[in-house]
Amino acid sequence: MTDQTRWGIDQVQVKNKAIKYQKDLVAKAMESVVKMDQGSIEDLMTLIEAEYEQKYGDNKAKGVVL
């Protein structure tokens, strides 16, 4: 077990919590995707690609059909 009084432990814990939160979000999203039909999944993919381009400015998703 790691010594909880060491310097930097709190930063590691915050980082691990952030990673777990992101993984939990993906898991919840996948639960919803499993329930969707093909048209809804395609609409969702379009929205995700648009959001990705807006946040990160990459046009890698443009023209790519999954």
Per-residue model confidence as pLDDT tens digits over 4-33: 667 778 888 899 999 999 999 999 999 999
Task: Flag whether 42 is in a domain.
Answer: yes
Task: Flag whether 66 is in a domain.
Answer: no
Nearby residues of 62 by Cβ (< 8 Å), 6 or more positions away: 49, 53
> Of 37, 39, 59, 41, which is closest to residue 49 (Cα–Cα)?
59
Task: Flag whether 51 is in a domain.
Answer: yes
Note the maximum CA span of the chain. 53
Task: Flag whether 29 is in a domain.
Answer: yes
Task: Flag whether 1 is in a domain.
Answer: no
Per-residue model confidence as pLDDT tens digits over 23-60: 999 999 999 999 999 999 999 999 999 998 888 885 55
Domain range spanning residue 46?
Answer: 10-56
Task: Flag whether 19 is in a domain.
Answer: yes
Contact 53, 59 (CB under 8 A): yes
Task: Flag whether 28 is in a domain.
Answer: yes
Whole-prediction pTM: 0.63
